[in-house]
Amino acid sequence: MAKRDNISSSVVRRLPRYYRFLRELDAKGISRVSSGELAKRMSSTASQVRQDLNCFGEFGQQGIGYSVAQLKDEIAGILGISCGYPAILVGAGNIGTAIANQVAYEKRCFELVGIFDSDMRKVGTVISGITVSHTDEIERFCREKDVVTAIICVPKGAVEELADRLYGCGVRSFWNFSHFDIGMKYDDVTVENVHLSDSLMQLCFRIKRSREDN
């Protein structure tokens, strides 16, 4: 039914947002939504929305819109939300703790199975029900649990050695909060970078430009 192979990367970038909005509508008991309403929420156009959603099947019906539940489930399936890939998090500082809580809370996409830190003061503490282990345990743990993804919340200087170790025990995907470019080193890994300082610089640029315009 779905024409999944044709989904472009720009559509993929928008899918999580569609999913979030549809989930909100579903939680409110709203069962149908028009392309116009979706467009307003996506800061897009109705025609763009129809084109995006057409990538993975024929859902909308002229005049009555899309079934919220059906569309939400289809997007969830495409994104792989119920996959529950085993993930570990390394670096239990403030950002690591916040991310661990979020991943454990969302219970989507990944199952957080381990948290690691090299600081003995953190080892043994509990975050989201998971006891923090020492980073020396990573290799043994990854092999036992068949870990798919590592969430990297350690300082930049510690990432390269850590990534080498994780790669060595089969981890091929990373959610990377550091500035070390993991994807530059290996060509068979999937890396999603969260560069908070890039986001901050973009905000700064946009404020500066809006002030220059006024």
Chain residues in the site for a copy of itself (CB under 8 A): 12-13, 15-17, 19-20, 41, 43, 78-81, 83, 85, 93-95, 97-99, 101-103, 106, 108-110, 148-149, 172-173, 175, 179, 181, 183-184, 190, 192, 194-208, 210
Residue 214 C-beta: closest distance to a copy of itself, Å: 10
Q: State phi, psi for 7 to the nearest 5 degrees.
A: -70, 120
Alpha-carbon separation of residue 189 from 16, 135, 193 (angstroms): 21, 21, 12
Residue 114, SS3 per DSSP: strand
> Toward a copy of itself, which CB reaches closer, 139 or 192?
192
Residue 24 C-beta: closest distance to a copy of itself, Å: 9
> Toward a copy of itself, which CB reaches closer, 53 or 103?
103
Q: Are 172 and 188 in contact (CB under 8 A)?
A: yes
Residue 172 C-beta: closest distance to a copy of itself, Å: 8
Closest CA to 106 of 37, 23, 2: 23
Here the tokens at position 112 are 């957080």
